[in-house]
Amino acid sequence: MQSLDFSFAALADPTRRAILARLALGEATVLELAEPFQMSQPAVSRHLKVLEVAGLIEQRVDGTRRPRRLAKPALDNVDQYLNTLRRALAANYDRLDQVLADMNTNPKSTPTRKKIRGRK
């Protein structure tokens, strides 16, 4: 869970999310990543360090260049966590759909809290 904590903490910053969006298009160097921002290269480097510690990006050595790219493992962990929440939300909507369908079938009955929560 700690890696998820680091990932979501890193994603909380809009600049870091913009950097990740740029890296979704392909590798980029610090200077390339700094271009759209009104901040210094060292400030961008600090954001990159946070993303690297969270495991969201990785650095590749290419001679004197050090391009960054998205790192699959941490992104997979975030995606897996969000999929769990999506499944739970879908199950909640399915239960609500069933309650509403039951109400339409038998309009005189009113759902109890137990029925709405999926309990019998």
CA distance 51 to 12: 11
Domains of the chain: 2-70 (1.10.10.10), 74-116 (no CATH)
Write down the pLDDT at residue 94.
87
- The answer for residues whose C-beta is within 8 angstroms of residue 33's C-beta and 6 or more apart is 19, 22, 23, 44, 48, 68
Task: Give residue for tokens 């809009």.
Answer: 14
Write down the pLDDT at residue 62.
87
Write down the pLDDT at residue 98.
86
Q: Consecutive sets of 10 residues in the chain, 120 residues long: mean pLDDT of each?
A: 84 96 95 91 95 94 92 90 92 88 75 58
Write down the pLDDT at residue 15.
96
Write down the pLDDT at residue 97.
87
